[in-house]
């Protein structure tokens, strides 16, 4: 996920005040609707909207260039849908231009995937990455529900300095979140009832885009082997983006500091053992041609995109848990997207087939400062 207020290619920003300028010419050809819109705004003495608003108008213009101007009042119903008993506004709004996905497609996905997704959300604080103006617009990361309630959503008060954390424990809550353009769902690595004792360690393997996918598969297997040597069973999911997540379930016990220290030791061991393959340093220049092992998800208040969460990036990748023996057949971190995820869900529905993470809730293991020390001192 990115910073909450990323301003990418913003069309025709106008300085506050009287003088306004024609938008710089974009590198891509500008659709006619957009040209007309910006030209009109510049020519007539019309107040020029703020960038976010401009994007919204542009998007609307692109989607429905031929909407009759005199639409009868109250006929917004044409773009209002219903999913699982929840009113979905702007249902036909396109949220991802690349795939042509509409808001209603997103909401319906979350309704369909709920049986698999909800167990990963249940009882955990959840943070949302919302994109009310679509993937091209402003993205909002939301950890608390202070101002506004979302129907069905559970509130965990006083777990985070008195700011109510978000809990999604029902289909109803999930669909209301999707109605609010909640696209990514990030869960804490601890249960709300035991929020100071993490119950998993997560390693986010984030490759330099230049690297081939085989390198990422190899890196994941190295990580699995290292953890296995420490007596820890690990699980793998596609990140829906470029890389993979390695997840190690824990019996709660060690606190956040010990858990983070362990995760850091693992990341640094990978980086020192295979220096051409891994880095544990976040800065961009250290990452060239490497796979960044992001161990900093293992901090109180941080989160990781949940299994079956959509990612708010063009193409709308999905996080998908897989079995280790499936890894070699994957083609990338975004192997599954909103466009092809149904194939996977159908597989999961086959009664005889073992769930890829069947053992996840059965594993009984934990970490300790002793184990971390052993790792740091170079022991096996």
The contact set with DNA (CB under 7 A) reads 1-4, 47, 50, 73, 89-90, 93, 103, 127, 130, 132, 138, 140-144, 146-149, 160-161, 163, 179-181, 204, 206, 260, 264, 280-286, 292, 294, 296-297, 299-302
As a whole number of angstroms, the distance between CA 318 and CA 223 comes to 22
Would you say 146 or 340 has its CB closer to DNA? 146
Within a 13 Å sphere around the CA of 119, how many CA atoms are in the beta-carbon half? 8
As a whole number of angstroms, the distance between CA 122 and CA 307 comes to 12
Least distance (Å) between residue 3 CB and DNA: 5
Query: What is the chain's length?
Result: 380
Would you say 174 or 280 has its CB closer to DNA? 280
From the DSSP assignment, how many helices (H) and strands (E) are in the chain?
8, 16
Would you say 136 or 344 has its CB closer to DNA? 136
**Beta strands, E only, 208-256:** 235-238, 244-249
DSSP annotation string for 114-148: HHHHHHHHTTS-EEEEE-TT-TTS--EEE-B-SS-
DSSP annotation string for 83-100: ETTEEETTTT-EEETTTT
Least distance (Å) between residue 100 CB and DNA: 16
Least distance (Å) between residue 223 CB and DNA: 16
Would you say 344 or 372 has its CB closer to DNA? 372
Least distance (Å) between residue 338 CB and DNA: 17
Would you say 282 or 349 has its CB closer to DNA? 282
Least distance (Å) between residue 304 CB and DNA: 8
As a whole number of angstroms, the distance between CA 173 and CA 182 comes to 11
């Amino acid at each position: 996920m990115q910073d909450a207020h990323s301003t990418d290619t913003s069309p025709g920003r106008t300085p506050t005040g009287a003088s306004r300028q024609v938008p710089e010419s974009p590198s891509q050809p500008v659709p006619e609707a957009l040209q007309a819109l910006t030209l009109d705004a510049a020519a007539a003495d019309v107040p020029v909207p703020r960038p976010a608003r401009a994007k919204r108008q542009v998007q609307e213009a692109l989607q429905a260039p031929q909407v009759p101007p005199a639409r009868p009042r109250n006929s917004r119903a044409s773009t209002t849908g219903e999913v699982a008993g929840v009113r979905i506004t702007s249902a036909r709004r396109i949220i991802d231009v690349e795939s042509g996905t509409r808001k209603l497609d997103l909401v319906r996905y979350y309704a369909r995937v709920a049986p698999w997704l909800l167990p990963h959300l249940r009882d955990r604080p959840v943070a949302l990455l919302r994109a009310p103006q679509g993937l091209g617009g402003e993205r909002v990361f939301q950890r608390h529900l202070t101002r506004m309630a979302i129907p069905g959503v559970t509130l965990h008060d006083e777990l985070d300095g008195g700011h109510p954390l978000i809990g999604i424990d029902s289909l109803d809550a999930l669909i209301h979140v999707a109605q609010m353009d909640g696209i990514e769902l990030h869960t804490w690595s601890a249960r709300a009832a035991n929020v100071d004792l993490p119950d998993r360690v997560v390693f986010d393997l984030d490759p330099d885009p230049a690297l081939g996918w085989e390198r990422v598969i190899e890196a994941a297997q190295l990580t699995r082997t290292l953890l296995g040597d420490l007596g820890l069973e690990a699980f793998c999911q596609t990140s829906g983006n470029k890389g993979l997540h390695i997840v190690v379930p824990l019996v709660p016990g060690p606190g956040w500091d010990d858990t983070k220290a362990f995760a850091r030791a693992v990341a640094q061991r990978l980086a020192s053992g295979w220096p051409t393959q891994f880095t544990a340093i976040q800065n961009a220049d250290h990452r060239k041609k490497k796979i960044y092992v992001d161990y900093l998800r293992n901090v109180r208040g941080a989160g990781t995109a949940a299994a079956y969460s959509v990612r708010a990036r063009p193409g709308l990748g999905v996080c998908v848990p897989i079995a280790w023996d499936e890894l070699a057949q994957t083609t990338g971190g975004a192997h599954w997207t909103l466009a092809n995820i149904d194939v996977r869900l159908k597989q999961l529905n086959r009664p005889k087939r073992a769930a890829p993470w069947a053992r996840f809730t059965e594993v009984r293991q934990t970490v300790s400062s002793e184990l971390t020390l052993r790792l740091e001192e170079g022991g096996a």
